[in-house]
Chains A and B, each alone.
Chain A
Amino acid sequence: MRSTTGNTLGPAARGPAEVPAGAHRLAPADLPALASGATLLGSGGGGDVGVPARLLRHALAAGPVPLVAAPALPDDALVVHVGHVGAPDVLAERLVAAEDFVRAVRAVESAVGRRADAVGIIEIGGLNALIPALAATGLGLPVVDGDLMGRALPRVDQLTLAVDGHQATPFAVVDPAGDTVLVTSCAPRAVEPLVRANLAAMGGAAALALHPVTARVLRASGIPGTLTACLRLGETYLAARSAPPAEFAARIGARLLSAARIDEIQPRRGATTGSVTLHDHATGAVVRVDLLDELLAVTVDGETVAATPEIIVAVDPVEHTPVRSDQLRTGRTVLLLRLPALHQWPREAARLVGPAAYGLALAPGAGFRAAGQETPQNPGAPQNPGAPQDPGTPRSPAAPQDPWAPGERGRT
C-alpha cells in the first residue's frame, strides 16, 4: 500500500497538455467500436451507452478529441476524472450535457487553484467510458488513455487511486440545473455516501468530477491504455459477432463459460445480490449468476468459474448482442463469457472489488496480484502503441500480453 500523499498539486496554472503528434484522436468513426467495447467491459452493468454515444457523435463533429497516455504528460500535469453517477435509467429521461461536466471540472479546478490539463476516465465499462470524451469536447482538453477501474464497478470508491490511498477531494457533483456541490475534504469511506446523498437531492443522477491528480500519480496508480483496449475490443467484437459462439468467444479473447437458459431470477434487493439460475442444455450443468447491476460471478455445478473483478458478459446466443443484467428474462438463453480483467488489483483490494465487496462468499476471481508479486502482471492492459514508453515506469507491463491484439489472441 502506497502511503497517502494527500493533495500535492502545485499552484502553477498550465494550459492544455501538449498532445504528441501522431497520438490517436477520438473521431466519430471510432464510436461504434467504443460503444461496443464499453458495453462488454460494463460486465452487464454500467448503463446504456446509446445516449452518450449519440451526444458524443454530435460533439465530435466539431473536431476529434485527442487521446494522451499518462506517461506522455508532464509529471505535474493536472488530470481531473469525470463521470456520470446515479441511476443509468435517469439518463433515458434526462439528457446529460457536456456543460454539466465542464462545470464540475471547473469547480474542482477552483478548489485546487489551477486549470486541468487533461480529462481522466473513472470507469472504462459502460457509459462512463464515453462521458469523459464528451466532457473533453466542452473543456477543449485531451482525454487520458486509461481509467481507474478497468471495467465497470458500482461505487465511486472502487478506484485504483483510492486503493493506493489518494484523496478523491476536492470533488464536485453537478446536476443539469447547474446546482453544484463542492466537497473539499472528506474521509475515503465517506465519498460514496456523500455522493449518493447528493444524488438523492439532484434527481437521481449527476455529473461528477473527482480525483484531481498529477500525471506522475496517475502513471503510478492508474490503469494505462484501457481506452485503446476498449476500442480494440469493440473493433474485434464488431468483426467477430457473426461467427459461431466458440469462434466468437475465442476472437474477442473471452472464455465461453456456458450457453444456458434462465430458469429462475431472484432479483437483487438493494445492496443484497440477486441470483439467476440457468440450465446448460449441452452439459446439463446447473449454472448460477450472482449480480447487482453488474454480473458478479458465475458458478457452474457449485464451482465458481468466474468472479469479479473478472469481466462477465452475457450475450445473445445468435446476435451476440450484450445483455445487461436488467435485460435478463426467465426463459431467455444467453451465452456467458468471461473476459480477463484489464487490471491486476493488489490482494488488499479483494474486499473492495472482489466478491466479498458484494457480500458474496466466493473466492475472488483472477484479477488480483499474487502475494509477493512485486511487478503487477497486467495481461488485460495492452500497451499503447502510440505512447512513448518509459522503461522506468513501474506500471509498465512487464510481460505484455494483449488478448485483443491481432495474432496474440490464443488464450487457452
Chain B
Amino acid sequence: MRGSARIRVADLLTDPLLDGAVTLAGHGGLERPVTDVSRYTATGREPGAAGQGTAGPAAGGEADAAGEPEPPGVEGHLLVCDDTQVTPPHRLDALVRGAQEAGAAALLVAAGRTRPLLSGMRLADRLGIPLLWLERAEPATLLFELGVRIRAHELTRARTVLALVRQLTAKKTGRDILAAAERILAVPLSLVTSDGTPILGEPVTVPPGLRLDLPVPQSAAHLLVHPVHDQEGNRAAAWLAITLERADADRTETLGVALAVAEPFVRSWLTGQRARAGRDAVFQTGLLAEIMAARDTVSRDVVENALSLGWRLQDWHAGIHLTMENSRAREDRDSVLGQHRDGLARHGVHTVAVVDRGDGWALWTSGELEPRPEEARQLLRALRVVITGLPRSWGLVAGIGRARLGPGGLAETLTEARDAASLARSHAFRPAVEHADELGVARLLATWQRSEVTRAFAETALAPLRDREHAHLLDTLRTFLESGGSAVATAQTLGVHRNTVGARVRQIRERLGVDLDDPSQRLALQMACRALDAHS
C-alpha cells in the first residue's frame, strides 16, 4: 500500500476501469493528484439540526445543504457516488460543493440514467473540480477496483499478468493474441518491424530517441516497445509496440510487464509461421519441378495441387528468376523476398508465388489475357526500380521471361527468365536485370558481328568484292541474302530488273567461288556482310 501522488485524475481516465467515463465539467482540475478513492458519504448533520432558527432569520437562512463538507480524510481522494445520491438531480450541486470543500481530487458519479442539471456542471467548472460521469458501473465494484488501482498497483499488475496468461494461452494466431491483449490492457497494440512497418496492427512512428537495433524494452513519450526475440535470441525479430495517450508511472510499469508476458506468445506464433513457411517452400519446389518436367502434359494431381496454392496454370505467365549472390542476405530470405514482392506489388505487379529453385527463386505473374507488349516493358521497368531500391550489397540479379500460355508456357517463361538471369549475372554491375526479349537474334548476332573472328572472316571472304568497281555486287549480295535469296525482292529493293539480279548473282558466285544454294554458305556470307557494315 502506498499513497503516492503520482496518479492524476487524467491518468485514471485512461484506465480500462473508467472506460466510458465522461468528464462533464471541471476540466481544469484533471491534473489534480489522486491519493485514494472513497465513497461519497454525506455524513453531515441531520438537515437543519441544532443551531438553526435560533440565530434569527438572516443567519438561519444560510442553510447547509445535504452535502456538507466531508469529514477530514478525503483530501486528494476520488469520491465516488451512485445514482441515488444524485436523485433528484439538484442534489449534485451540494455534492460538488461538499467534495471541493473537503479537498477531494474529483467527483465520480456512477449515474445510471440520471442526467445532471446545468447548475451542477457549472458549479464544478467554477470550482475547478473534475466531474466524471459513468453511466454503466457498479459503484461498489468500481470503488474496490479503483482502490486497488491507486493504492495497490502491484495487485493490478499481478491481475493483468494472470489475465494475459489465461487469455493468451488459448489464442492461436498473432491477430488473436494482439486482440486479446488489447482487450485486457485497453490500449492499441501493434507488432512492427524495426522501422515501424506494421506486421499486425497500426503503423508506429518510431521516435529518433529509440535504439531499435538493441533488443531491449524501451519507452518514449506516447510509445512503449518490447522486442520479440528471434530463435537465436540475440536480436529482435519484431517489436511489440503500445501507443499511449498518457499514463502514470504505475500504468506504464504494468504495461511494460504485460508486454514481457505477451512476448513469448507472439514469438511462438512468429516461429510457427516461419516453420510453416519452410514446409510450404519444400512442397512448392517439388510441384514446380513437376510442372517444369511435364509441361503441357501435367497430371490432374499437379493441377489440383497448384490450384490449392492459388496457381492458375492455364493462364498467361511471365516468369522472373531472382538470385542473390550475398550469402548473408540468403539467411534473410523471407525479408528479402518479402520486400521484393511488396515492392513489385506497389508497382502493380502481383506475383503468384516465390519458389525456391536451388540456384535462385522463381516468381511469376499470371493473367487470363495475353499481356500486351508494353506490359512486358512495364514489368522490366518495375523490376529494375524495385531491385535498385534494395541494398546493393545483397548482389541481386534478376531475369524476366516472355509471357507464355499454360503449364508449358510457365515452364518456358521460367526457363527464359533463368537464362536471362544468367546473362545478367555476366554483367559487371549489381543489381542487374535482363529480359529474354532483349536476348533475341539481333542481339546474338550483334555479339557475333562485333567479334574479331567474324570480322577477319568477313575481310577474307568478301575481299573479291570490296574494291570500288565491285561495290554494286556487294550491295546486291547483301540485299539478296537479307531478302532470303529472292531475286524478285532483291530487284524491287535495288530498283533493277530481276534479270540484272540474276546476272549479278552469277558474277558473285564466280568471283567468291561459293555455292549460294548452301544454307551454311549463305549464313556465313550474311554474317560477313553485317560484320562489314558494323565496322564500316
A and B assemble together = yes
Q: A residues within 8 Å of B by Cβ?
A: 255, 263-264, 266, 272-273, 275, 277, 279, 284-288, 290, 299, 301-307, 310, 338, 340-341, 344, 347, 350, 354-356, 359-371, 373, 379-380, 411-412
Which of B61, B64, B66, B123 counts the most A-chain CB atoms under 10 A from its CB? B61
Contact A373 B53 (CB under 8 A): yes
Q: How far is the CA of A347 from the CA of B48 in the complex (A)?
A: 9
6 interchain residue pairs of minimum CB distance: A302-B97, A366-B60, A363-B47, A288-B119, A363-B63, A264-B118
Min CB gap B300→A, angstroms: 79
- Chain A hits for B50, CB < 8 A: 370-371
Min CB gap B253→A, angstroms: 38
Min CB gap B363→A, angstroms: 69
Question: Taking the complex as formed, is B57 at the interface, i.e. its CB lies under 8 A from any CB of chain A?
Answer: yes
Min CB gap A304→B, angstroms: 5
Contact A310 B91 (CB under 8 A): no
A310-B57 contact in complex given A302-B97, A360-B90, A364-B48, C-beta closer than 8 Å? yes
Q: How far is the CA of A76 from the CA of B71 in the complex (A)?
A: 56
Q: How far is the CA of A304 from the CA of B56 in the complex (A)?
A: 16
Q: How far is the CA of A290 from the CA of B66 in the complex (A)?
A: 15
Question: Taking the complex as formed, is B94 at the interface, i.e. its CB lies under 8 A from any CB of chain A?
Answer: yes
Question: Taking the complex as formed, is B170 at the interface, i.e. its CB lies under 8 A from any CB of chain A?
Answer: no
Which of A347, A366, A373 counts the most B-chain CB atoms under 10 A from its CB? A366
Q: How far is the CA of A354 from the CA of B63 in the complex (A)?
A: 12
- Chain A hits for B64, CB < 8 A: 303-304, 363
Contact A305 B66 (CB under 8 A): no
Within 8 A of A (CB), among B102-137: 117-119, 122-123, 126-127
Contact B57 A303 (CB under 8 A): no
Contact A299 B60 (CB under 8 A): no
Min CB gap A399→B, angstroms: 10
Look across to chain B and name the residue whose beta carbon is closest to the beta carbon of A298.
Answer: B61
Q: How far is the CA of A305 from the CA of B58 in the complex (A)?
A: 10
Contact B97 A365 (CB under 8 A): no
A279-B53 contact in complex given A266-B117, A299-B90, A363-B48, C-beta closer than 8 Å? no
Q: How far is the CA of A411 from the CA of B98 in the complex (A)?
A: 29
- Chain B hits for A305, CB < 8 A: 61-63
Q: How far is the CA of A286 from the CA of B126 in the complex (A)?
A: 8
A411 touches which of B57, B66, B67 (Cβ 8 Å): B57
Within 8 A of A (CB), among B340-386: none
* Chain B interface size range: 20 to 34
- Chain A hits for B447, CB < 8 A: none
Taken residue by residue from 381 to 422, chain B's Cβ proximity to chain A (1 for < 8 Å, 0 otherwise) reads as 000000000000000000000000000000000000000000
Contact B122 A362 (CB under 8 A): no
Contact A302 B54 (CB under 8 A): no
Min CB gap A359→B, angstroms: 6
- Chain B hits for A361, CB < 8 A: 47, 65-66, 88, 90-91, 94
Contact A359 B58 (CB under 8 A): no
Contact B118 A277 (CB under 8 A): yes
Contact B63 A364 (CB under 8 A): yes
Look across to chain A and name the residue whose beta carbon is closest to the beta carbon of B96.
Answer: A302
A286-B123 contact in complex given A263-B118, A350-B48, C-beta closer than 8 Å? yes
Contact B53 A370 (CB under 8 A): yes
Contact B66 A302 (CB under 8 A): no
Question: Taking the complex as formed, is B196 at the interface, i.e. its CB lies under 8 A from any CB of chain A?
Answer: no
Min CB gap A411→B, angstroms: 6
Contact A272 B88 (CB under 8 A): yes
Contact A340 B91 (CB under 8 A): no
Taken residue by residue from 85 to 99, chain B's Cβ proximity to chain A (1 for < 8 Å, 0 otherwise) reads as 000111101101110
Question: Taking the complex as formed, is B243 at the interface, i.e. its CB lies under 8 A from any CB of chain A?
Answer: no
Q: How far is the CA of A286 from the CA of B118 in the complex (A)?
A: 9
Q: B residues within 8 Å of A by Cβ?
A: 47-48, 50, 52-54, 56-58, 60-67, 88-91, 93-94, 96-98, 100, 117-119, 122-123, 126-127
Contact A362 B126 (CB under 8 A): no
Contact B119 A287 (CB under 8 A): yes
Look across to chain B and name the residue whose beta carbon is closest to the beta carbon of A359.
Answer: B88
- Chain A hits for B61, CB < 8 A: 255, 305-306, 310, 338, 365-366
8 more contacts with CB within 8 A, not counting A264-B118, A344-B53, A364-B47, are A285-B126, A286-B126, A310-B57, A350-B47, A365-B61, A366-B52, A369-B53, A373-B54
Contact B122 A286 (CB under 8 A): yes
B52 touches which of A273, A286, A370 (Cβ 8 Å): A370
- Chain A hits for B97, CB < 8 A: 301-303
Contact A303 B88 (CB under 8 A): no
Q: How far is the CA of A354 from the CA of B53 in the complex (A)?
A: 13
Contact B63 A307 (CB under 8 A): yes
Q: How far is the CA of A285 from the CA of B126 in the complex (A)?
A: 8
Q: How far is the CA of A307 from the CA of B53 in the complex (A)?
A: 13
- Chain A hits for B53, CB < 8 A: 344, 366-370, 373
Look across to chain B and name the residue whose beta carbon is closest to the beta carbon of A412.
Answer: B58
Which of A338, A341, A365 counts the most B-chain CB atoms under 10 A from its CB? A365
A selection of 30 A-B contacts at a CB cut-off of 8 Å is A266-B117, A273-B90, A277-B119, A285-B126, A299-B65, A299-B93, A302-B123, A303-B64, A310-B57, A310-B61, A355-B47, A359-B88, A360-B88, A361-B66, A361-B90, A362-B47, A364-B47, A364-B48, A366-B52, A366-B53, A366-B56, A366-B60, A368-B52, A368-B53, A369-B53, A370-B53, A370-B54, A371-B50, A379-B56, A412-B58
Q: How far is the CA of A272 from the CA of B100 in the complex (A)?
A: 28
- Chain A hits for B123, CB < 8 A: 286, 301-302
Contact B58 A363 (CB under 8 A): no
B126 touches which of A284, A288, A370 (Cβ 8 Å): A284
Min CB gap A272→B, angstroms: 7
Contact B126 A379 (CB under 8 A): no
- Chain B hits for A362, CB < 8 A: 47, 63, 65-66, 90, 94
Q: How far is the CA of A372 from the CA of B305 in the complex (A)?
A: 101
Contact B93 A288 (CB under 8 A): yes
Min CB gap B305→A, angstroms: 73
Contact B90 A290 (CB under 8 A): yes
Look across to chain B and name the residue whose beta carbon is closest to the beta carbon of A290.
Answer: B90
Q: How far is the CA of A286 from the CA of B117 in the complex (A)?
A: 11
Q: How far is the CA of A381 from the CA of B352 in the complex (A)?
A: 100
Contact A273 B88 (CB under 8 A): yes
Q: How far is the CA of A284 from the CA of B125 in the complex (A)?
A: 11
- Chain B hits for A287, CB < 8 A: 119
- Chain B hits for A266, CB < 8 A: 89, 117
Contact B93 A302 (CB under 8 A): yes
Q: How far is the CA of A306 from the CA of B60 in the complex (A)?
A: 9
- Chain B hits for A299, CB < 8 A: 65, 90, 93-94, 119
Q: How far is the CA of A25 from the CA of B384 in the complex (A)?
A: 115
Contact B47 A302 (CB under 8 A): no
Q: How far is the CA of A363 from the CA of B47 in the complex (A)?
A: 4
Look across to chain A and name the residue whose beta carbon is closest to the beta carbon of B117.
Answer: A275
Q: How far is the CA of A373 from the CA of B60 in the complex (A)?
A: 15
Q: How far is the CA of A255 from the CA of B54 in the complex (A)?
A: 18
Q: How far is the CA of A263 from the CA of B98 in the complex (A)?
A: 23
- Chain B hits for A284, CB < 8 A: 126
Contact B89 A302 (CB under 8 A): no
Min CB gap B218→A, angstroms: 48
Look across to chain A and name the residue whose beta carbon is closest to the beta carbon of B95.
Answer: A302
- Chain A hits for B119, CB < 8 A: 264, 275, 277, 286-288, 299
Look across to chain A and name the residue whose beta carbon is closest to the beta carbon of B94.
Answer: A302
Min CB gap A154→B, angstroms: 17
Q: How far is the CA of A202 from the CA of B125 in the complex (A)?
A: 49
Look across to chain B and name the residue whose beta carbon is closest to the beta carbon of A341.
Answer: B57
Q: How far is the CA of A162 from the CA of B380 in the complex (A)?
A: 104
Min CB gap B87→A, angstroms: 9
